[in-house]
Amino acid sequence: MAGTKYRGSEISDVDQFIKDKDGLGSEREVEIGQHIGYRYDVNLVPDYERLTPFLKDYLEVMGWDDLNWLEDVHMGYEDGKPAVFDRNINGWVRVPDSISLPDNQQDRDMIARELLVKFQMSDRHPLVLLRKAYMKF
């Protein structure tokens, strides 16, 4: 029934879900064979000391003094791989193996933000095709 108790595992290590792709930490997760909850801290606010040059340029072009919507973008982990959730396609986009991951979530989040902006603004983003198909002329 609803209102029982949180039965998922806690995040203790930045590489937790790369080392253990199933992420079955708690008793309940092992029992049901499914990870409960996010694989990253959705409430982690950004450390502005770690902005990348690309992100600084992006904020300037958009006329924003902070990360704005990108504050909600984090590097996540799916199937043991680093990935970023793209809300515009409602799916995970893989981070290529050629990108080496920093040892902390804050710097990883900045990389995730940069990759996601570049992807969303590119011509190969699925939204470009969707728009062509369904736009009102």
Partner 1 sequence: MAYLSDAELKELTQEERVKALGMTTEQLTGRSMAIEFDPEEEKRFTYPWAPDVDYNKRTEIDADNLTSTEVNTKLRSLMAEGYGSIVIRNPRGKHGLGVGILSRLNLIFEGSLGYFAIGLNDGPNVRINGRVGWSCGENMMSGSIVIEKNAGSTFGAAIRGGDLVCKGSVGSRTGIDMKGGTIIVGGDTGALSGFMMQRGRMIVCGNAGKNLGDSMYDGTIFIGGNIRSLGVDAVPAELTDLDKSWLIRKLGLYGMIPEKGIKHFTKIVAGKQLWNYDNLEPTEKKLIL
Residues 23-42 that bind partner 1 (CB under 8 A): 28, 31-34, 36-38, 42
Q: Between residues 53 and 103, which has the closer beta carbon with respect to partner 1? A: 53
Q: How far is the CB of 42 from partner 1 (least distance, A)?
A: 5
Per DSSP, 69 falls in state G
Q: Pick from 16, 18, 50, 92: which binds partner 1 (CB under 8 A)?
A: 92
How are the residues of the chain apportioned to helix, strand and coil, as percentages rounded to the nearest 5? 40, 10, 50
Closest CA to 130 of 94, 102, 89: 89
Q: How far is the CB of 15 from partner 1 (least distance, A)?
A: 18
**Number of other residues whose CB lies within 10 A of the CB of residue 17:** 22
Q: How far is the CB of 104 from partner 1 (least distance, A)?
A: 13
Q: Between residues 20 and 81, which has the closer beta carbon with respect to partner 1? A: 81
Q: Does 104 bind partner 1 (CB under 8 A)?
A: no
Residues 38-67: b if buried by 16+ CB within 10 A, e if exposed = ebbeeeeebeeeebeeebeebbeeeeeeeb
Q: How far is the CB of 81 from partner 1 (least distance, A)?
A: 7
Closest CA to 11 of 98, 105, 96: 105
Q: How far is the CB of 19 from partner 1 (least distance, A)?
A: 18
Q: Between residues 22 and 91, which has the closer beta carbon with respect to partner 1? A: 91
CB 124 within 8 A of CB 93: no
Q: How many residues in the shown chain lie near partner 1 by CB under 8 A?
A: 72
